[in-house]
């Protein structure tokens, strides 16, 4: 028995080289080891892999020499019997051994080998990062679609498609995914609108309208009529003018619109007060543009602000008010007599008296008489009963241990009380006669029948310059009878500004109000502009103790003026600053 | 006269162009850093005006100054992106591709200033800031690209050691062929290690592996370790095959390291474009969304 081994190799050009050799014996060893009959130079093949032995009936028995199986005709085997006459292929790695029977009965084993490819010239592309990265084009498309979808298509589509296009719509009728359009958080006042952009941005590509603001801010008053606003505005810078020109072309409402001063999306917190510049745009040299204005020019509190003006009662006995300039010489006429300096002295009789009374300190202080209004902006009118009467007693009689006191504020009542006072000594009704027993003076049934001359004297005395009333009041005659001038006191002095006393709590009263040196009640103890400027300077005065914008004292929109004591508390929508010129000099 | 004049000017221009291409001039130093100077002045101008222009109440994309910067910035972004189209049509002249690229690089840098000043430093989680962030990332990736283009090619050529990439692959193939032949006498376990080595495709490396570069654990090194250490005491003269395989594995590892280093440098050189280009396109989308949304909710 012998095997004919036919090895077929290929040259580099592809030509076949066929070599035949014969192996004698009953056993054909196949493997990687060079001692095998057929050497299969493939590392995946065992050193001794397969042993082929002929069986009696001319068949071949293939058996694995070791643990590894082999592939015969496409199936894995550890042992198989094959008929070489019918052919068969043993696959070992890249090698294929086909079995056939030669005419002379020998078994022909044809050994062919697949060429292993080492290296791939195309592999140079593998050096490039491109072979490992996802394509740029795909990444770009994904990015574009995501961004345009999430940040443009969804909000616009949901905005156009919603059925109820009301500004304050809720739920499904709200524009979806427009949060990403917000340039910043809304101020605290508008916080509830944070997720409701369409409440203000009503129409696509239409800027926020004043009417939208006013749909909530119904009671806000106009600063001035629109044409006056436009006329008051100073010249704009080139850039700003250009911007407005462009903006108005595209439908912005103009520099007088709400949104010009009130910018939103500036971050959570209080809405920023409008900057000084928005005021000074008009109020700087405004008299050159609005020749009929009653207002002084102003553009910076520290450098350009008119002298302060106060609303005062100007004439004794009249409730008519007048605005006076606080130049240090301003006077008011409350109808009272009151030397502040004497009352604030720490050494005189007033101080001595205060020291002796319960509820007072070593000397009087402002708050002994003045109490703030509920908003702590101003002070309430001083009341005789609570502020003065502890010292300035109106007691006129004593019954047992109880004092009888005149009623303050009502001259007729005082007159009646004093006339009816029966303990004042009267001239006896009869002369030389005395009533007997208990009817005599001092007796239990004594009755004074004399004329009440002393009573009338007492009234006249009380209402005189030096009397108990005249101590504080200015005597006068009303309808032929002695009386006093009525008193008028103000609880606020500024017409167009507010002053918050609470914010100035750490200051002494006298650092602004020169009460400790004032000897007359007509002294208007209001500070001048210079006094304010000791601390307050304009918004840009960084070195000032308190850089102050206009909005610190002034409100653009007409505030609650309470022009009369019984005036309405609610803001007056009809009130506009332009009307001031009509009421010039008067409140 | 006019035609004569223009011809003379034209020839002078051609001469300059000739000189320029004769001695290699980088797009960075093109026309004596003309665009660098333009960009520098532009940035300085924007910073100065930002400080000097009084915008009330504060700088904001919606002030007249903000709109101006925004318009300039948006125009620049579109023009800069146009390089992707322009680069496919190289032309000479003062608007040569090199000049264009030079302008692209330097004007792109000035966009950092223009875009940021446009924001007025009011940033947040919204589509507007998304556009700004994308712009900054694109510029940063571009700056990275310039930096690696200026430094890495030298490393690349040093690593090549006069070999082409084809030669590196060929060298690896030669080693593999030798390795296969030399490994024939090896025992099963050793042979399996060598098979794994031969089956290893150095180019199948993923993104991270490419950036990690040479020296990583792979089939070649595992085979080398296996044959070196596990058989340290079998190192007798008889086992020549083992010695030979070991030597070949060592050579293979060195060759792979060179290829890996090459891939690493290439990756460092090329990666920026994978950020720069898709993010530019994303930026154009975000810019559109930014502009449209601002005026949609005006």
Query: Looking at the partner chain, which of B68, B165, B293 has a beta carbon nearest the beta carbon of A127?
Result: B165
For residue B235, give both structure tokens: 């190192």
Angstrom distance (rounded) from CA B220 to CA B199? 10
| pLDDT mean over A511-525 | 90
B259–A239 C-beta distance less than 8 A: no
Q: What confidence tier does A585 reach under pLDDT thresholds 50, 70, 90? A: very low
Q: In the listed set A414, A443, A471, which residue is the last one of a domain according to the structure?
A: A471
Angstrom distance (rounded) from CA A41 to CA A9? 13
Quote the pTM value.
0.71
- Contacting B residues, span 17-56, partner chain A, CB-CB under 8 Å: 53-54, 56
Chain B: give the shortest CA distance to residue A574, in Å: 29
- Contacting B residues, span 277-296, partner chain A, CB-CB under 8 Å: 277-282, 284-286, 288-289, 292-296
Residue A345 lies in a domain: no
Residue A222 lies in a domain: no
pLDDT score of A570: 38
B185–A263 C-beta distance less than 8 A: no
Q: In the listed set A85, A113, A141, which residue is the last one of a domain according to the structure?
A: A113
Q: Which of A315-329, B1-15, B57-71, B83-97 has the lowest mean pLDDT?
A: B1-15
Total number of domains constituting chain A = 2
**Is residue A573 predicted with pLDDT exceeding 60?**
no
Q: Determine the structural domain holding residue A452 and report its residue range.
A: 393-471
Q: What confidence tier does B262 reach under pLDDT thresholds 50, 70, 90? A: very high
Which domain CATH number covers A89? 2.60.200.20
Chain B partners within 8 Å of A266 (Cβ): 57-58
**Is residue B94 predicted with pLDDT exceeding 80?**
no
Residue A26 lies in a domain: yes
Please state, for a pLDDT cut of 70, what percent of chain A lies above it.
91
| HSE of B54, CA atoms in CB hemisphere, 13 A | 7
Helix, strand or coil for residue A351?
helix
Q: In the listed set A113, A132, A147, which residue is the last one of a domain according to the structure?
A: A113
Q: Which of B23-37, B109-123, B159-173 has the lowest mean pLDDT?
A: B23-37
Angstrom distance (rounded) from CA A96 to CA A441? 162
ipTM of the complex: 0.83
Residue A21 lies in a domain: yes
DSSP code string of A271-331: PPPPPHHHHHHHHTTGGGT-TT--SPP-SBTTTB-PPPEEEEE-STT---EEEEE-SS--B
Q: Which of A51-65, A183-197, A424-438, B49-63 has the lowest mean pLDDT?
A: A424-438
Angstrom distance (rounded) from CA B129 to CA A309? 49
Residue A388 lies in a domain: no
Residue A339 lies in a domain: no
Chain A: give the shortest CA distance to residue B124, in Å: 7
Chain B partners within 8 Å of A184 (Cβ): 122, 124
- Contacting B residues, span 99-138, partner chain A, CB-CB under 8 Å: 122, 124-128, 130
pLDDT score of A140: 92
Angstrom distance (rounded) from CA B293 to CA B298? 8
**Is residue A581 predicted with pLDDT exceeding 60?**
no
B282–A144 C-beta distance less than 8 A: yes
- Mean pLDDT of all residues in chain A? 83
A127-137 pLDDT, tens digit per residue, is 888 888 888 89
A202-240 pLDDT, tens digit per residue, is 888 888 988 888 888 877 777 777 788 888 888 888 877
Q: Tell me if the bond preceding B57 is cis, omega within 30° of 0.
A: yes
Chain A: give the shortest CA distance to residue B127, in Å: 5
Greater confidence, A300 or A398?
Answer: A300
Residue A452 lies in a domain: yes
B278–A136 C-beta distance less than 8 A: yes
**Is residue A512 predicted with pLDDT exceeding 50?**
yes
Q: What confidence tier does A575 reach under pLDDT thresholds 50, 70, 90? A: very low
């Amino acid at each position: 028995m012998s095997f004919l081994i036919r090895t077929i190799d290929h040259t580099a050009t592809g030509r076949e080289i066929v070599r035949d050799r014969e192996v004698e014996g009953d056993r054909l060893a196949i493997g990687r080891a060079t001692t095998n009959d057929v050497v299969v130079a493939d590392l995946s093949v065992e050193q001794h892999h397969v042993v082929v032995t002929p069986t009696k009936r001319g068949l071949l028995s293939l058996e694995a020499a070791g643990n590894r199986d082999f592939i015969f005709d496409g199936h894995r085997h550890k042992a198989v019997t094959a008929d070489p006459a019918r052919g068969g292929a043993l696959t070992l790695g890249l090698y294929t051994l086909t079995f056939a029977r030669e005419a002379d009965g020998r078994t022909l084993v044809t050994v062919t080998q697949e060429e292993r490819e080492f290296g791939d010239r195309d592999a140079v592309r593998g050096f490039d990062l491109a072979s490992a990265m996802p394509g740029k084009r795909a990444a770009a498309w994904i990015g574009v679609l995501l961004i345009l979808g999430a940040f443009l298509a969804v909000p616009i589509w949901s905005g156009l498609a919603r059925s109820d296009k009301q500004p304050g719509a809720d739920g499904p009728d709200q524009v979806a995914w427009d949060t990403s359009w917000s340039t910043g958080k809304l101020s605290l006042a508008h916080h509830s609108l944070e997720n409701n952009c369409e409440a203000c941005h009503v129409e696509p590509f239409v800027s926020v309208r004043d009417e939208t603001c006013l749909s909530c801010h119904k009671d806000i008053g106009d600063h001035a009529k629109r044409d006056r606003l436009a006329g008051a505005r100073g010249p704009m810078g080139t850039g700003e003018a250009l911007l407005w020109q462009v903006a108005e072309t595209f439908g912005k409402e103009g520099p007088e619109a709400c949104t010009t001063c009130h910018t939103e999306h500036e971050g959570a917190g209080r809405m920023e007060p409008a900057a000084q510049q928005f005021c000074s745009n008009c109020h700087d040299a405004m008299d050159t543009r609005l020749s009929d204005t009653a207002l002084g020019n102003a553009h910076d509190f520290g450098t350009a602000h008119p002298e302060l003006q106060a609303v005062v009662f100007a004439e004794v006995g009249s409730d008519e008010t007048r605005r006076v300039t606080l130049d240090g010489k301003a006077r008011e006429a409350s109808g009272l007599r009151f030397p502040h300096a004497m009352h604030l002295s720490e050494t005189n009789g007033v101080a001595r008296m205060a020291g002796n009374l319960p509820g007072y300190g070593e000397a009087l202080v402002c708050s002994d008489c003045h109490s703030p209004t509920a908003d702590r902006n101003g002070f309430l009118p001083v009341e005789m009963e609570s502020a003065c009467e502890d010292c300035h007693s109106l007691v006129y009689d004593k019954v047992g241990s109880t004092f009888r006191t005149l009623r303050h504020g009502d001259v007729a009542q005082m007159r009646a009380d004093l006339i009816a006072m029966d303990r004042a000594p009267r001239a006896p009704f009869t002369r030389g006669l005395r009533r007997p027993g208990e009817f005599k003076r001092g007796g239990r049934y004594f009755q004074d029948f004399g004329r009440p001359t002393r009573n009338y004297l007492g009234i006249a005395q009380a209402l005189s310059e030096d009397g108990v009333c005249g101590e504080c009041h200015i005597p006068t005659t009303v309808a032929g009878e002695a009386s006093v001038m009525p008193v008028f006191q103000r609880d606020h002095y500024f017409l167009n500004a507010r002053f918050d006393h609470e914010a100035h709590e750490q200051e002494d009263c006298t650092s602004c109000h020169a009460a400790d040196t004032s000897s007359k009640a007509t002294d208007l103890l209001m500070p001048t502009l210079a006094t304010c400027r000791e601390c307050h300077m304009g918004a840009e005065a960084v070195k000032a103790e308190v850089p102050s914008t206009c909005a610190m004292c002034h409100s653009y929109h007409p505030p609650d003026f309470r022009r009369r004591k019984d005036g309405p508390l609610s803001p007056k929508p009809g009130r506009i600053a332009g009307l001031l010129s009509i009421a010039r000099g008067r409140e | 006269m006019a035609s004569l004049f223009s011809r003379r000017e034209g020839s002078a221009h051609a001469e300059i162009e000739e000189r320029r291409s004769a001695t290699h001039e980088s797009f960075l130093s093109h026309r004596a850093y003309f665009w660098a100077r333009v960009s520098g002045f532009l940035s300085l101008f924007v910073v100065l005006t930002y400080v000097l222009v009084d915008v009330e109440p504060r700088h904001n994309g919606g002030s007249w100054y903000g709109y101006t910067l925004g318009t300039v910035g948006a125009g620049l972004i579109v023009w800069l992106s146009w390089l992707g189209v322009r680069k496919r049509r190289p032309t000479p002249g003062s608007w040569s591709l090199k000049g264009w690229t030079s302008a692209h690089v330097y004007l792109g840098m000035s966009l950092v200033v223009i875009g940021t000043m446009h924001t007025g430093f009011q940033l947040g989680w919204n589509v507007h800031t998304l556009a700004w962030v994308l712009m900054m990332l694109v510029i940063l990736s571009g700056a990275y690209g310039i930096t690696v283009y200026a430094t890495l090619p030298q490393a690349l050529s040093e690593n090549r050691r006069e070999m082409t990439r084809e030669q590196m692959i060929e060298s690896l193939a030669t080693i593999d062929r030798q390795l296969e032949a030399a490994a024939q006498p090896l025992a099963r376990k050793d042979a399996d290690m060598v098979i794994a080595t031969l089956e290893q495709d150095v180019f199948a490396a993923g993104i991270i592996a490419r950036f990690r570069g040479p020296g990583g654990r792979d089939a070649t090194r595992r085979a080398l370790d296996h044959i070196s250490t596990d058989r340290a005491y079998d190192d007798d003269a008889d086992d020549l095959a083992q010695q030979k395989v070991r030597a070949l594995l060592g050579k293979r590892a060195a060759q792979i390291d060179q290829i890996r280093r090459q891939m690493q440098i290439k990756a460092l050189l090329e990666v920026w474009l994978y950020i720069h280009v898709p993010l530019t396109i994303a930026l154009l989308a975000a810019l559109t969304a930014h502009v449209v949304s601002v005026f949609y909710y005006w």
